[in-house]
Amino acid sequence: MTEESESMFTGKRIGILASYNGSGFETIQKAINEKKLDAKIVVVISNNTNAGVLEKAESYNIPNFIINDKRYPGQNIDDKCAKLLKDFQCDYIFLSGFMKKIESSLLTTFPNKIINTHPALLPSIYGGKGMYGRFVHEAIINNGEKKSGVTIHYVNEVYDEGEIILTKELELVQNETADSLENRIKELEKVAIVEAFEKLLAKS
């Protein structure tokens, strides 16, 4: 996007926090490219020097930054992230596999603007500290659940307890494994993320 088109852009500005490959980032960017979302990803921040999302952001010419304790020893990482996201005038922050707890500075700077995706239905025992990725799917299989799904929710000070934006369900099939469930949830998550942003952008 040129400087002129940047100044004319009237859609919502999204910041991404990611620790690894940022599949949610790719989902949002694809929806933007396909004109499904009137939005723009304006900045990507990772706490992981080797995160694949940084290279992906670079390929789209999206400004990207590494902010962690090693790079900024003795500094408040949450404050630095909040300032950077504010400098980029972000309307929403999306957590795309961000493995660091969101602290007060970000929450107060962006109230009801930080969005997370969880690979299970909330509220449930499949949320909270330590419940992420494969751990969730294994627990669901081990407990003999009949269904699972995806929850898109706002982030607050407690893991996975923020206000729910939307959920999407799927039924577990016979002989479901953690691997097969994980793959199905990832596909459902792509749909849920786009629908959640469609909902948010229609309201704002």
Condensed to tens digits (0 to 9), the pLDDT of residues 71-128 reads 999 999 999 999 999 999 999 999 999 999 999 999 999 999 999 999 999 999 999 9
Contact in structure between 22 and 16 (CB atoms under 8 Å): yes
Distance set, CA 59 to CA 35, 52, 63 (Å): 19, 11, 10
Confidence of residue 5 (pLDDT cuts 50, 70, 90): low
Residue 7 has pLDDT above 80, yes or no: no
pLDDT at site 3: 52
